[in-house]
A and B are shown apart, each in its own frame.
Chain A
Amino acid sequence: MRRFLLLVLVLSTVFVFAQSKLVIWCSEKQVDILQKLAEEFKAKYGVVVEVQYVNFSDIKPKFLTAAPEGQGADIIVGAHDWVGELVVNGLIDPIPSFPELNQFYETGLSAFSYGGKLYGLPYALEAIALIYNKEFVPNPPKTVDEMIQIAKQIDQEFGKEVRGFITSTTEFYYAVPFILGAGGYVFKETAKGLDPKDIGLANEGAVKGVNIIKRFVDEKVLDPSDNYQIMDSMFKEGKAAMIINGPWATKAYKDAGIDYGVAVIPNVDANLVAKPFVGVQGFMVNAKSPNKLLAKEFLTNFIARTDTMYRLYLGDPRLPARKDVLELVRDNPDVVAFTQSAANGVPMPNIPQMAAVWGAMNDALNLVVNGKATTQEALTTAVERIKTQTQ
């Protein structure tokens, strides 16, 4: 019996005094490079860094469950629009300032800021742009009118076997370039950050933007049932001439042997530029981690370095968040085009109220393109719905 008790004691002590180490949750594309960095960090600091692969869409839910209990990763790699929710829950810690911070693009830093503090180290920016198949479209259209003309021509020529233009019709994210480009806004930008009470999704500009989507549908260029999967697979099979998609998709198109080009999204009209949402990827530190100082040291002294950022770019070719790294990859035409698109864009709001916007606006688009409501009606209802939900 005494031996048994001893065994229990030993087992429980082993668990309690487990050695401290840094754990990172990241998605597929960053695993390899982070693992190499972990080796370097271990060699220098004698601290084990464990890089764990978690599905991108699972990182936030998993973190939300684990972190309040003092479990979970010390560092997570995720999107800037998680910041609001994670900060409000007290789960992530501010990142201290460091000398090379001015090398990072302001867009990336402001996207990761909440209440005046920086909560994440950005490493990649992304914005959607027009991707076209050079076989069908030698020169990308500059305006929506041109785009409709070209799309119709292709539709007629190939009898809908090849689609002139296809995108996810009823998804707000893909309609944003036109809505914001025409003068709509999600939350009003004020000196103190975004104002969730001032929503500009039913103003004149937003109506004009949504009407562009409606025009695509009315002119039979887009169909209400077009969605991301259809768009993605048709372009991969060479059956779509123009799509709107982000830098994450281009690798698959290259692998599929498509001769594609990237251009900015056509202008809403002669002088209104399309403005896509800019998403930022970055590293965040768990507020309840016992290794916070080390985690911050790892981010500011290892991840933030130019060479690391360049290696991250090679593994995950999105736009680098560091200015000098972007200079290094200037010769890639995709990067130049996506950069231009992002430069026109607006950072996706990172306040928790944004969660209500997606569903409401998707539903509004759905009603409009199906002719169930006029654009003004649908958008007014959507804004009302966002307001009642966020109060």
Chain B
Amino acid sequence: MKHLLKFFLWCIFVLMNIFFFWGASFLIQNAYYELGIVFFVLLFLIDFFIFNPRAYPYRYIAPALALLFILVLYPIYFTVKVAFTNYGTGHYMPRQEAIERLLYDPNYTYIIEEDLDSNYKIFVIYDGINPTEDFIIVFNLDGKPFLAEKPTPIRRKGKEILLSESFLYPINSEYVQMNNRTYHLVPWTGELQDLKIITIEDKAYKAFYSPKDEFLQVNSPFFKSRIAQQYLYRADFVDQQGNRYALRISSAGEWHFAKIERLYRLGYDESFENGKIGLKMTIYNNKTGNKVTEKDGAFYDTNENGESVFLLGFIDYVGSKNFLRIVKDPKVSGPFLQIFLWTFLWALLSVVLSLAVGLPFALILNDKNVKGRNLYRTLLIIPWAIPVFISALVWRNGLLNESYGLINKFLLPLFGLNPIRWMNDAFWARVGVLLVNIWLTFPYMMTISLGALQGIPPELYEVAMIDGAGRFKRFTAITFPFIMAVIAPLLVSSFAFSFNNFTIIYLITAGGPPIPGSTTPTGYTDILISYVYKLAFEAGRGQDFGFASAISIMIFFLVGGISFLNFKFSGAFEEVGR
């Protein structure tokens, strides 16, 4: 039995090793070097802890360490890194990738001769009756025959092939000499459709596909899915004069070869800096000869009218620009104070009011004379147990809706009151979101208060009663201070949580009602985090991860600072420590 357990544990250990090793190599292959290295370091540390007897105690903290790295430290590092970039809509790829795309992507080429008379024929080696992917091509370009081998990659990026090339050898007779090999064309009449077999040494390439040969059309799917997609899509065929031919889909939908030229090339630009002449890498447009300019993290080309045309954006380091925008941009800083005050009020009221509701319930439930306490307790915890998404939607559509909500339709008319405009009146919208939040958080307050109440020694109450203290005095002098000592740190964290409680605000009012005359997407119930969300993800410029990261770092310091002051003044830590 003991051996079995040990075997089982070793199995888990081996599996974990495999997982980490696979994860690390997978990440590094996909260019996530930092995270991949973290995985390798973790793997090394865990193995070290397990195999080295002296590191024995550490093996117990290893899982926590691993999770800390992956789930806390890495996201923080990533957020900080992104905060200094322009990562967002229009800036989605690394600069290197943008350059590679401009230089090698088939979309950035242009066709030189529109009406080039071209034809080609693919010859493959068969394995039994199955075609293989070993092929050569015979071309007829403007009436001249050429032979080319399978293209070989010349630019790679990781596993990906950016560009491959093959040379076009003119065919003058039935023997074609190329790369020290002699190909024998049988039979050679000068016409593509007559050519059946090409032999070299002991291999024979058989005619497989030609777009104009009806007899070979059956092979079209194999040609398109295997040969064209994998080997011809990013391939250039170069003749002796340096002309390039590549596979393109014509406007008639045919896959033919066209004479092409790359739209962009890399050039070097002399620049004069600090009294020295240096060479700077620049991209030029081959067609117009214009220089591709780089502005605000994007490449721009100039068209014939002299206007700049957006080409590709890339992720660029922008320094403290995102942070400065928080301060300088009137769009952000303008409504900031108003929103900040409401956020503060919202967090404070959420905590105080839900405690004010939860504590009395706790006091009642703590009274041993109350019958059916367990039942009440279960019922009162329900709001806490229902997923927020559901209860928020129930509140918004079922209770607070202005014409069909239960409150406006049944409850208020019962007392002869006018319906309340929950969604469209600034004051009532704020009351509404607070109401929902109190309803959602009072069970939490009740539960922690109940726990704290258990810890009060009953002798204290006896002593107080002997001294003649009444119910109220006993509450203010004994119960409340005792409870606060225990729950104050929890209240502070609850405050911090409410401060960033995006879900409730977004699901109930989405920040509305709008503030009249505001040129930013601001509403009366917007708290900082929902306002930032609107600015970073719903404003006109799409997603702006850089700005969102910068502002979330700022909110972190804000909440951290407020919480620190709270702890300091409430003396929460000292009480707990004692």
Contact = CB atoms under 8 A, between A and B. Distances in A.
A46 B233 contact: no
Interface stretch (B260-268, B336-344, B377-385, B401-409): B401-409
A297 interface: yes
A366 B90 contact: no
A378 B516 CA distance: 7
Contacts of B90: 88-89, 352
Interface residues of A, number: 67
B253 A97 contact: yes
A385 B516 CA distance: 11
Contacts of B312: 90
A11 interface: yes
Interface string A54-72: 0000000000100011100
A350 to B, nearest CB: 13
Interface string B223-246: 011101100010000000000000
Nearest to A296: B249
Given A88-B310, A297-B224, A359 B521 contact: yes
Contact of B92 (A91, A229, A297, A357): A91
A50 interface: no
A230 B397 CA distance: 9
Nearest to A226: B403
Contacts of A384: 519
A356 interface: yes
Interface string A222-239: 011110011000000000
Contacts of B517: 373, 377, 381
Contact of A367 (B30, B224, B309, B516): B516
Contacts of A388: 331, 519-520
Given A90-B101, A366-B513, A300 B253 contact: yes
Interface string B461-479: 0000000000000000000
Interface string A157-185: 00000000000000000000000000000
B287 to A, nearest CB: 16
Interface stretch (B18-26, B166-174, B443-451, B483-491): B18-26
A311 interface: no
A297 to B, nearest CB: 6
A45 B221 contact: yes
B534 interface: yes
Contacts of A291: 229
B25 A12 contact: yes
B36 to A, nearest CB: 13
A225 B30 contact: no
Nearest to A301: B253
A359 B424 contact: no
Nearest to B224: A297
Interface string A345-367: 00000001101110110011011
B519 A88 contact: no
Contact of B540 (A64, A89, A292, A355): A355
A293 B224 contact: yes
A352 B540 contact: yes
Contact of B229 (A90, A293, A370, A390): A293
B325 interface: no
Given A68-B92, A90-B313, A356-B539, A45 B534 contact: no
A353 B92 CA distance: 17
Interface in B395-428: 397, 401-404, 421, 423-424
A66 to B, nearest CB: 12
B538 interface: yes
Contacts of B160: 70, 290
B18 A7 contact: yes
A8 interface: yes
A230 to B, nearest CB: 6
Given A293-B233, A372-B516, A385-B518, A85 B542 contact: yes
Contact of B541 (A7, A352, A372): A352
Interface string A124-161: 00000000000000000000000000000000000000
Nearest to B247: A293
Given A12-B22, A12-B25, A366 B512 contact: yes
Given A359-B534, A373-B516, A293 B25 contact: no
Contact of A294 (B29, B30, B229, B402): B229
Contact of B519 (A64, A223, A381): A381
Given A4-B14, A46-B225, A90-B101, A352 B542 contact: yes
Contact of A225 (B222, B225, B401, B541): B401
A205 interface: no
Given A293-B229, A366-B514, A96 B221 contact: no
A223 B159 CA distance: 60
A377 B21 CA distance: 62
A44 B221 contact: yes
Contacts of A70: 30, 160
A384 B512 CA distance: 19
A231 to B, nearest CB: 11
Contact of B403 (A64, A225, A373): A225
A352 B537 CA distance: 12
A135 B30 CA distance: 62
A97 to B, nearest CB: 4
A103 interface: no
Given A15-B22, A45-B225, A99-B252, A363 B401 contact: no
A11 B253 contact: no
Q: Tell which of B26, B90, B228, B534 has the most Cβ of chain A within 10 Å.
A: B90
B89 interface: yes
A193 to B, nearest CB: 12
A90 B297 CA distance: 14
A91 B229 CA distance: 19
A63 B298 CA distance: 22
B225 A389 contact: no
Nearest to A46: B225
B86 interface: no
A386 B540 contact: yes
A16 interface: yes
A12 B23 CA distance: 9
B541 A390 contact: yes
Contacts of B17: 4
Given A15-B26, A68-B93, A293-B233, A385 B402 contact: no
Given A94-B107, A356-B540, 6 more contacts: A45-B222, A88-B90, A97-B251, A352-B89, A364-B514, A388-B520
16 contacts: A12-B22, A15-B22, A89-B93, A90-B313, A99-B252, A115-B309, A292-B229, A293-B233, A294-B224, A352-B90, A364-B514, A367-B516, A377-B517, A385-B518, A385-B521, A391-B540
Interface of A: 4, 7-8, 11-12, 15-16, 44-47, 64, 68-70, 85, 88-91, 93-94, 96-99, 115, 223-226, 229-230, 287, 290-294, 296-297, 300-301, 352-353, 355-357, 359-360, 363-364, 366-367, 370, 372-373, 377-378, 381, 384-386, 388-391
Among all A-B residue pairs, the 8 with the closest Cβ atoms: A356-B540, A225-B402, A363-B514, A390-B540, A389-B540, A98-B253, A96-B249, A89-B92
